[in-house]
Structure 1
Amino acid sequence: MPDVMIFAPSPLLTVTLEGDPSGTDLHLHAGGQGVWQARMLRTLGCSVSICSVLTGESGRVVQHLLEDDGITVHAVIREGRGAAYVHDRRTGERAPIVELEGDPLSRHELDELYALTLREALGSDLVLLSGPFGDEVLPDDVYRRLAADLRAAARPVVVDLAGGRLAAALDGGVRLAKVSDAELTSSGQATDASVPALVAAAERLRGAGAESVVVTRAGHASLVLDGATAATVQVPVMEEVDTRGAGDSLTAAIAASLAAGDSLHDAVRLGAAAGALNVTRHGLGTGDAEAIRRLSEQVAIAPIEAGEGSLDSLDELATKVQVDGA
């Protein structure tokens, strides 16, 4: 099975209150971007390891929860305040009660984590770089260094980052970068959310160091750019229960497919299916592997021909191009 290593510098402990007429339940899980990605990778049959710093009491609980999920944990252990949140979802809507970013990593802890990550990455088929829960946990430049060193070691790198972390990782060089249209427009990298503006922004990301770029668009077809080719990614729309975690599921499924040696378009099909099905569930990064694979067969990747970039209607795009089976 493919072996994927995830750089998840500060996983968090999630505590969620759920309720129905019979009473209130309390749910404890390991969480954070890298953890949610790891769950989807495990669902799709990958061997998954996480390199992290685990802090204090919450870190010890997180380690046990991750190992119970079949995820191998390589961790720097330290005392202090770990990342955690408590959310109340008894009304059906998620209401934060408290959210703790955790203590920043010291220089010594960063050095340990970096060495640990390189060691484990060298034995993996693919490396996924994920972000921390808090903005101040570690310097952005760590992502540049990791991407550059992993590229030098011929390890493919996939990232789902934003802002300074994304820019740093691109500077090091990555196999694929996943971003959202909201991230591109809010950062000023795209002038608006139209297809031409997003394609132009994705091309700039490729010029900055990404071989391929996937742009997700909530409620619309995603975009994939690879070389001189730009295409839309159309997937059947599912009824939404919880949209959180859909992007992480998409990224993880793409990583799983690329680690298995699949083509980019096949990987994107699987990722689009995983993201679409994740919104039908409450669990972040969860899904049914067979359902994902079956839905991926209905994902259409349609190249955007010259002059079609101004089309924002998916129906118009679908009638103008044939599905690309590449």
Structure 2
Amino acid sequence: MSDVTILAPSPTLTVTVEDHPQGSEIHVHAGGQGVWQARMLRRLDVSVTMCCVLIGEVGRTLKHLLEDEGITVVAVEREGRGSAYLHDRRQGQRLVIAEEEGDAIDRHARDDLYGAMLHSSADSKAVLLSGPAGDATVPSDLYRRLTIDLRSDGRLVIADLAGERLEAVVEGGVDVLKVSHEELRRDGLVRETTVPEITHAMHELRRQGAGAVVVTRSSEPLLVLDDHGLIEVSLPPFEENETRGAGDSLTAGVVAALTRGERLRDAVTLGAAAGALNVTRHGLGTGDADAIAQLRERVQVRERPQGDADEAPHGRVSPDGLAALAETETEES
């Protein structure tokens, strides 16, 4: 049994060329949103099962790389073109040499992936839904159905998604939704990324079905809206080395804390620390657990006026509510 089961439909094989005093240094890793989240979860000593579709020789290489990182891989294997990229960073900037999203996942593979998620997450404390390599890789309705089925079976479901997949998990009643302010604007949910507009969008997402909403705002404090209201979470800024993967590290930190029984408002402080440390590093989804724990002590949390009355969706229990119920059951037993 793993603490967390992650849906990562199409991991990416990443090849990056870096400068080296004696020539070039070539790095080969597994990558993609779900992989970066799983990597950070492992750094935080959380066990992870990843359900994915691995395609062709790229997929066979990815399986070995993922297992070498201590991730349990439940893979649907197919022939074809897998997701991969080749980037050149020898001049200090990331130059794209080649990028391939890979083949779309066919109906039979989607069915097998769906079944793998239901089976693999049976004893997990949380399920994390991440996005595929490309928009056409897997239909968004899979996320809606999976959210409904996982929650009906008692799973805590967290999603880090945007676009049609965000709409799908909200319709399915996701427990915690994480999204960035850029994604909100890209999806037309806000016109300007001001706090009032973002807050209004967060209330709307809760009204439509999300239990709690976490919005990251690049270097600005992130916002959390739950049953108890709106909070702002901030860290001292760091000089950025690599911004990619910071949001995924944040999500992983939140999930790690939730699996340990922390309330969401406390869990986001671990996520903020993990995300902040990640921007200082070359590796995506990386960071030392002790450094993250120390950095967490510098996270500041403050209440903000909501500006828009909001009630929890009828019949829903928030993640904090679930934690409280669990504590009550433990005391009674």
**For this structure pair, what is the TM-score category when the shorter chain's length is used for normalisation?**
over 0.9
1:83 is matched with: 83
Residues 120 and 306 (structure 1 numbering): CA distance in 2 closer, same or farther, change over 3 Å?
Answer: closer
Query: Post-superposition shift, 1:105?
Result: 1.0
Residues 306 and 172 (structure 1 numbering): CA distance in 2 closer, same or farther, change over 3 Å?
Answer: closer
Note the 1:183-222 alignment, pairs <5 A.
183-222=183-222
Aligned partners of 1:153 and 1:236: how far apart in 2?
40
One-letter amino acid matched to 2:287: G
Note the 1:284-295 alignment, pairs <5 A.
284-295=284-295
One-letter amino acid matched to 1:274: A
Aligned partners of 2:194 and 2:33: how far apart in 1?
27
Query: Post-superposition shift, 1:239?
Result: 1.3
Aligned partners of 1:2 and 1:273: how far apart in 2?
23
One-letter amino acid matched to 1:109: A
1:108 is matched with: 108
1:148 is matched with: 148
One-letter amino acid matched to 2:249: S
Query: Post-superposition shift, 1:113?
Result: 0.7
2:182 is matched with: 182
Query: Post-superposition shift, 1:305?
Result: 2.7
1:322 is matched with: none
SS in 1 for 2:175: strand
2:303 is matched with: 303
One-letter amino acid matched to 1:183: E
1:165 is matched with: 165
One-letter amino acid matched to 2:85: Y
1:74 is matched with: 74
Query: Post-superposition shift, 1:273?
Result: 0.4
Residues 235 and 228 (structure 1 numbering): CA distance in 2 closer, same or farther, change over 3 Å?
Answer: same
Matched pairs, number: 308
One-letter amino acid matched to 1:197: E
Query: Post-superposition shift, 1:23?
Result: 1.1
1:3 is matched with: 3
Alignment partner of 1:32 is 2:37: no
CA contact (8 A) 2:245 2:285 kept: yes
Query: Post-superposition shift, 1:228?
Result: 4.4
**Percent of residue pairs identical:** 56
One-letter amino acid matched to 2:32: G
SS in 1 for 2:211: strand
CA contact (8 A) 2:49 2:74 kept: yes
Query: Post-superposition shift, 1:22?
Result: 2.3
Runs of 5+ in structure 1 lacking a partner? 309-326
Query: Post-superposition shift, 1:2?
Result: 6.9
SS in 1 for 2:170: helix
2:50 is matched with: 50
CA contact (8 A) 1:148 1:173 kept: yes
Aligned partners of 2:258 and 2:66: how far apart in 1?
24
TM-score, structure 2 as length reference: 0.90
CA contact (8 A) 2:2 2:49 kept: no
CA contact (8 A) 2:42 2:48 kept: yes
Aligned partners of 2:236 and 2:4: how far apart in 1?
28
Deviation beyond 4 Å, 4+ runs, structure 1: none
1:242 is matched with: 242
Deviation digits for residues 121-161 of structure 1 (CA, Å, limit 9, x no counterpart): 11211000000011111100000001000010010011110
CA contact (8 A) 2:235 2:273 kept: yes
One-letter amino acid matched to 2:35: V
Deviation digits for residues 278-309 of structure 1 (CA, Å, limit 9, x no counterpart): 0000000000101111111111110013669x
Deviation digits for residues 90-124 of structure 1 (CA, Å, limit 9, x no counterpart): 11111111111111111111111100111011121
1:324 is matched with: none
Alignment partner of 1:272 is 2:272: yes
